[in-house]
Amino acid sequence: MAGLPNTLNESLSQIKGRALSSVEFVQDYVHLRFDGAFLTAYTWPYLTVGVKTFSWGEGSYKDSLCSQIGIQVRDANIVQGRALSIFFEDGAILTVSLRDSDYRGPEAVQFSSNDGAVWVV
């Protein structure tokens, strides 16, 4: 995995203050929309709410992820080789692993920003 441009974190900053507006489960990935910008996670994200972490395959995973619809993003960032994280105003954290061992295909995420930039990691 090549080094990530610094501008990916700048693009992610576009979702700060925006609410998660939809969650779409598509066969083997999930599509998250933030009032225009969207994230497609090919590696299943996990959601941490308080001390509980919800992972793909758990009965409450989909409901927990959908419960974030309408909640604003406080922060979002990517740490190369580790994770892309989205921090919500209610304290929940959505994380997509970027560790090589967790990739299920050639990429883990695709982020399409409001300004038309598309980032694939």
Task: Tell me the per-residue pLDDT of 36-67, one tens digit each, with 9 for 90 and over.
Answer: 899 999 999 999 999 999 999 888 999 999 99
What element of type H or E holds 100? Answer: none
- Signed CA dihedral, 104, 87, 18, 69: sign only: positive
Residues 6+ apart with CB under 8 A from 43: 96, 97, 98, 102, 103, 104, 108, 109
d(CA 82, CA 89): 22
d(CA 43, CA 3): 19
H-helix segments, 1-121: 7-12, 61-66
pTM value?
Answer: 0.90
Q: Where are the domains of the chain?
A: 7-120
Average pLDDT across the chain, whole number: 91
What's the topology of domain 7-120? N-terminal domain of MutM-like DNA repair proteins (3.20.190)
